[in-house]
Amino acid sequence: MKVIKFLFITDLDNTLVGNRQATDALLHKLLLIREQIYVIYATGRSIHSASDLKTDQGLLEPDYWVTGVGSEIYHRGQQDQTWAARLSIDWNRAAIADLLRAYDELLPQPAAEQNPWKISYFLKPTADPTILTRIENQLADFGAKLIFSSGQDVDILPRSGDKGLAITYLREHLAMPPEKTVVCGDSGNDISLFQQGTLGIIVGNARAELLDWYSRYGTPQQYVANAPYAWGILEGLQHFGFL
Burial class (CB in 10 A: 0-12, 13-18, 19+), 25: middle
Site for Mg ion (CB under 5 A): which residue of 113, 153, 155, 186?
A: 186
Q: 132 CB contacts (<8 Å, ≥6 apart)?
A: 123, 146, 148, 154
Shorter beta-carbon distance to ligand GLC: residue 72 or 113: 113
19 binds Mg ion (CB under 5 A): no
What residue ranges bind ligand GLC (CB under 6 A)? Answer: 44-45, 69, 109, 113, 120, 149, 153, 155, 189
63 binds Mg ion (CB under 5 A): no
- CA dist 84 and 13 (Å) reads 24
153: partner contacted, choices ligand GLC, Mg ion, none (Cβ within 5-8 A by kind): ligand GLC
Q: How many CB atoms lie within 10 A of CB 169?
A: 20
CB 241 within 8 A of CB 201: no
189: partner contacted, choices ligand GLC, Mg ion, none (Cβ within 5-8 A by kind): ligand GLC
Q: Which stretch binds Mg ion (CB under 5 A): 34-42, 62-70, 104-112, 185-193?
A: 185-193
- CA dist 230 and 24 (Å) reads 9
**Interface residues with Mg ion (CB under 5 A)?**
11, 13-14, 186-187
